[in-house]
Amino acid sequence: MAQAKGLSLLSGGLDSQLAVCVLREAGAYMEGVTFETPFFSAGAARKAAKALGLPLTVVDFTADEIALVKNPPHGYGGAMNPCIDCHATMIRRAGEIMRERGFDFVSTGEVVNQRPMSQTRQSLGVVARACGLEGRLVRPLSAQLLEPTQPELDGLIDRSKLLGLSGRQRQPQMELAAKFGLTDYPSPAGGCLLTEKGYGRRLKDLMDHEGLDDLRLVRMLRAGRRFRLPGGASVILGRDATDNARLESERAAGEVLVAPVSVPGPTALVLSPCESDLALVRALVCAYSRYDRFEGEVTVKSTGDSGREDFKVARPYSREAFKQYQLT
Ligand code: SF4
């Protein structure tokens, strides 16, 4: 009998690893596919693939994810996470690879009713049809509760080896993990910055002002404290020496670096700068500097496209005054 060739979405989480193990037991040759963007890495999937001895294709999903963040047809989850569309697009991309490279089916580690909205028996069928994979999308952990797929009907996968898991309890997965000798897997949630509310506020602010086309700015979203000043400038204020060094190396044309020179203190990278906001940034870096250890005015340098200029900034310096502009 010919051996079925399956391509499994591998996040690195336990369920995605179990899906591979169960399908191997059912007779399939398996490979994995995973996705990476500035919002989540493929690290856990790479680690899992290595442990499983699974050939892995890593897809740069950045353009897809940015397009979905800008305009999610099914809306966002609790933060800026377009999960429904993100998940469906990943499956669609896996389907494209399936057709290009001659796989027989795509599989996932989804479990019926594990998530109330997106993993009901009905919604799993909707996703398969919407992704153009009807009959070719295998969910081995819940397959006994779903219609048989084409490779099962063709006898390429032994359906009797597939499982009938349903619901949110994790005990069956833990038992299967022990059976298959899986010991290293991250928690099912986590790992995607788009699900974090604080990160989501920074991302929304960037999207609404500078836009999401400059990936350098997207990749810097976790760096530093963030301020949006009244003239429209965005300020990234270093929290530590690592942030400061990074900001100094990241300045692009049209942007300005501001930092105290007469006292230790943070570097600020100013996007979309205007004169009134730059005066505020000079006061801001003083407020976050160690000015208290020294007497007199602080000297601040400002470096932009036309070179460096130094300014004396008079006291008092107040962090409180900038709270109203800070993104939390
Ligand atoms: S948590 Fe992140 S990676 Fe996962 S489906 Fe949602 S947006 Fe996509």
Ligand 1 centroid vs 83 CA: distance in angstroms?
5
Our answer on whether the CB atom of 40 is closer than 6 Å to any ligand 1 atom is yes
| Cα 24 to Cα 53, 124, 149, 192, distances in angstroms | 12, 22, 16, 28
Atom of ligand 1 nearest to the CA of 83: 6
Q: What is the CATH number of the domain that holds 154?
A: 3.40.50.620
What is the pLDDT, as a whole number, of residue 291?
A: 94
Q: Count structural domains, the chain.
A: 2
Q: Chain centroid to CA 267: how far? A: 27
Same domain, 188 and 227: no
Q: What predicted TM-score, i.e. pTM, was given to this entire model?
A: 0.90
Sheet holding 29-36, edge to edge: 56-60, 29-36, 5-9, 105-107, 137-138
Ligand 1 centroid vs 276 CA: distance in angstroms?
39
Atom of ligand 1 nearest to the CA of 35: 3
Cα separation, 211 vs 223, in Å, equals: 17
What is the pLDDT, as a whole number, of residue 196?
A: 95
Same domain, 266 and 121: no
Atom of ligand 1 nearest to the CA of 192: 2
Is 161 domain-assigned? yes
Same domain, 80 and 188: yes
Rama region for 254: left / alpha / beta (φ>0; ψ in -120 to 50; rest): left
Query: Which residue among 172, 193, 214 closes a domain?
Result: 193
What is the pLDDT, as a whole number, of residue 17?
A: 97
Ligand 1 centroid vs 87 CA: distance in angstroms?
7
Ligand 1 centroid vs 306 CA: distance in angstroms?
42
Same domain, 105 and 178: yes
Same domain, 157 and 19: yes
Ligand 1 centroid vs 113 CA: distance in angstroms?
18
Cα separation, 153 vs 189, in Å, equals: 34
The series of mean pLDDT values per 10 residues for the chain, 328 residues long, is 92 96 98 97 95 98 98 94 93 97 97 80 80 93 96 96 94 95 76 94 96 96 96 97 96 97 97 96 97 94 97 95 94
What is the pLDDT, as a whole number, of residue 189?
A: 56
What is the pLDDT, as a whole number, of residue 131?
A: 87
Is 214 domain-assigned? no
Q: Determine which residue's CA is closest to atom 6 belonging to ligand 1.
A: 83
Q: With contact defined as beta carbons under 8 Å apart, do 69 and 194 qualify?
A: yes
What is the pLDDT, as a whole number, of residue 188?
A: 58
Our answer on whether the CB atom of 163 is closer than 6 Å to any ligand 1 atom is no
Is 159 domain-assigned? yes
The secondary element (H helix, E strand) that includes residue 218 is helix 215-219
Our answer on whether the CB atom of 83 is closer than 6 Å to any ligand 1 atom is yes
Ligand 1 centroid vs 44 CA: distance in angstroms?
14
Our answer on whether the CB atom of 194 is closer than 6 Å to any ligand 1 atom is yes
- pLDDT, tens only, 53-92: 999 999 999 999 999 999 999 999 999 999 989 999 999 9
Same domain, 81 and 161: yes
Cα separation, 110 vs 118, in Å, equals: 10
| Cα 25 to Cα 10, 75, 147, 191, 241, distances in angstroms | 17, 38, 20, 29, 52
Same domain, 168 and 261: no
Nearest one of 226, 196, 177, 230 to 22, comparing CA atoms? 177
Query: Which residue among 153, 173, 193 closes a domain?
Result: 193
Atom of ligand 1 nearest to the CA of 195: 1
Instruction: Say how many C-beta atoms besides its own lie within 10 A of residue 114's C-beta.
Output: 21
Q: Determine which residue's CA is closest to atom 4 belonging to ligand 1.
A: 83
Q: With contact defined as beta carbons under 8 Å apart, do 111 and 167 qualify?
A: yes
Is 165 domain-assigned? yes
What is the pLDDT, as a whole number, of residue 1?
A: 64
Same domain, 166 and 278: no
Same domain, 171 and 237: no
Containing domain of residue 314, as a range? 223-327
Is 28 domain-assigned? yes
Same domain, 111 and 167: yes
Query: Which residue among 193, 208, 234 closes a domain?
Result: 193
What is the pLDDT, as a whole number, of residue 319?
A: 96
What is the pLDDT, as a whole number, of residue 258?
A: 98
Same domain, 23 and 142: yes
Ligand 1 centroid vs 42 CA: distance in angstroms?
12
Cα separation, 117 vs 98, in Å, equals: 27
Q: What is the mean pLDDT of the chain?
A: 94
Q: Determine which residue's CA is closest to atom 5 belonging to ligand 1.
A: 83
Nearest one of 288, 286, 273 to 229, comparing CA atoms? 273
Ligand 1 centroid vs 24 CA: distance in angstroms?
26
Atom of ligand 1 nearest to the CA of 39: 2
Same domain, 91 and 156: yes
